[in-house]
Amino acid sequence: MPTESVYAHVNLESNYRRRKILNAVMLSLTGLTVLVAVVPLVWITVYVVIKGGKYINWALFARLPAPMGAPGGGVLHAIEGTAVMVTLASVIAIPLALLGAFYLLARPNTSLAHGLRFSTDMLAGTPSIVIGLFGYAVIVVVQKHFSAFAGGIVLAIIMLPVVLRSAEEMLKLVPAEMREGALALGSPEWHAALKVVLPAAMEGIVTGVMLGIARAVGETAPLLFTALGNDNYEIGKIVRSGIRHHQSVGKILGQIFAQPADALPLTLWKYAQQPYQERVQQAWAVAFVLMLFALGINILARARLAYRRRKLYG
Amino acid sequence: MQPETAVVKVSAGAQPAAAEADTKMLINGVSVYYKAFRAIKEIDLPVYENRVTAFIGPSGCGKSTLLRSLNRMNDLIPGARLEGEVLLDGENIYAPGQDVVDIRRRVGMVFQRPNPFPMSVYDNVAFGLRLLGLRKKSVMDEIVERSLRAAALWEHVKDNLGQSGMALSGGQQQRLCIARAIAVEPEVILMDEPTSALDPVATLTIEDLIQTLKEKFTIVIVTHNMQQAARVSDFTAFLSMDDDRAGYLVEYGPTMELFTNPRKKLTEDYITGRFG
């Protein structure tokens, strides 16, 4: 066999020259792509801040809406509605998602696990308005009224796959040896999962939960069919009236969930199409608040993730 | 600083390395920082041509960091910074304007865990050749075969070059990675604990291979295993961790001397297994 060098058959210099040109071209192209990706975000943020920032005032957070066309008023009803529905959604979705994620960790290859993964992926890909329609059909139609309860349920359905799959990913990042270490000490599976794997994955799971909440807060479409909207939704009023009529805590809570409710994105959507200048301005203010919330939660979540990485890998 | 063409006399022993050798690389006052943390400090060390140089020392003493500074793999770690210089044939590879791609072509690397690409055995070896711009199939076939032969793998894979590189056994995977590295004819091959993930039989094959490879290549090997350093290397550098957790060079010399007649107490303690 001839022992000729590969360098007798290639022109290293021209190869390197071509490579460097290609490198420069691709680097500028990717740099350009970064710009293209960043510009819309910056643009939207700046635009919303300019348009909405100036209409932020105390009344916005403290008052119910003023009558149509009248100046003043706020969106307290939407803030409280969002809080009630997202809380309900979180209380339902987060424990379910964590239990599901633990199942996927403990029995990753059973047909149930494959089914769970497949269905959460499908659920995550389902248009949210379809989920809203589903909530309308099985809750609103059956109960014969719109409610914060129905809104909370559809938001839970939307949150579930987001939190479940991110929790699964985070749990998978925990080295198997760690779990095995606990099992080898005679720890039952639930104990190892709860005491060793969960704490190790906690930061990441919290991040996933926060992103799930941000997603639920921003949803509009599914609430159209379920929570409907309610200009007079005010928890304080419900509680005060309940106390006046000597109702039990359960009854009062039931009232809070049974009424139709508003939500920030829902209010934004409705106000933006009204002919009154006051309302349009408030729509911008709501957009500003939502934007701040979504950005804030994302930045917080990412900062936590970065912190966790630094802690784990030095 | 030692002259670039330093010549050392190696005490005659069982190893045929006892001959004069040219300096291939020269590590010159090298400190490596990860952000504020200094991982290794002020290391001076020659690497002789067609010899095997081993880095030994306890965990965390910076052996791998030092090895990776020889082909600028540390560039890939965010926050990593190097002070001092590393000369390859008398030229500082960290000098501005140096082409890092060309340096890595000249200074190849084999990693701790075999890392064949997810493609056929043939394509694994052809990978670097295609990077060089080699197109001619007949030449490619020839060099792939030659490289696999040199890595003592040809007999095992010649009937099925299309099988996935990841389907091979661990030892075979590592030899595939060696074949892949030598296909582009580097001048120096860095090996980062190349046998620590392998069983004793596969380890022996790789060690034998290193002995034949050094006829053509200069080899630098990091190993946890002192017997391995004694078996395969001509020169050994013993690194340890200082009180500030920075790795430093304790002793360097011909392997025979370092193992039979260490100059430093610390070296003696380490090679006799009293610490580390």
Where do the domains of chain A lie, and which CATH numbers do they carry?
A: 76-261 (1.10.3720.10)
Pairwise CA distance, residues A125 & A158, whole Å = 10
Pairwise CA distance, residues B109 & B68, whole Å = 9
- Cβ contacts of A16 on chain B, cutoff 8 Å: 99, 101-102
The pLDDT, as a whole number, for residue A314 is 53
Instruction: Inform me whether the C-beta atom of residue B141 falls under 8 Å from chain A C-beta atoms.
Output: no
- A53, pLDDT greater than 70: yes
Verify whether the Cβ–Cβ distance A11 to B133 is below 8 Å: yes
Min mean pLDDT across A53-62, A147-156, B102-111 is at A53-62
From the list B101, B142, B185, which residue is nearest A1 (CB)? B142
**Residue of B127, B129, B139, B215 for testing the chain A interface, max A β-carbons within 10 Å:** B139
Q: Which of A225, A241, A99 is nearest to A167 (CA)?
A: A99
B158, B79 contact by CB (below 8 A): no
The owner of tokens 């894979």 is B157
Verify whether the Cβ–Cβ distance A10 to B132 is below 8 Å: yes
The pLDDT, as a whole number, for residue A68 is 83
Which residues in chain B come in under a pLDDT of 70? 1-19, 276
What is the CATH class of B18-271? alpha beta
The pLDDT, as a whole number, for residue A95 is 95
- Cβ contacts of B102 on chain A, cutoff 8 Å: 16
Give the dihedral sign, CA B29/B35/B40/B41. Answer: positive
Verify whether the Cβ–Cβ distance B185 to A5 is below 8 Å: yes
Verify whether the Cβ–Cβ distance A12 to B132 is below 8 Å: yes
Please list, residue by residue across B118-128, b when 16 or more beta carbons sit within 10 angstroms of its beta carbon and e when fewer do. Answer: eebbbbbbbbb
Verify whether the Cβ–Cβ distance A10 to B142 is below 8 Å: no
- Cβ contacts of B134 on chain A, cutoff 8 Å: 6, 9-10
- Cβ contacts of A3 on chain B, cutoff 8 Å: 146
The H or E element containing residue B28 is strand B23-34
Angstrom CA distances, B81 to A98, A167, B249, stand at 42, 36, 19
The per-residue pLDDT for range B49-58, each reduced to its tens digit, is: 999 999 999 9
Average pLDDT across chain A, whole number: 91
Q: At what angle do helices A76-106 and A148-173 cross, to 10 degrees?
A: 40
Q: Where are the domains of chain B?
A: 18-271
The pLDDT, as a whole number, for residue B6 is 40
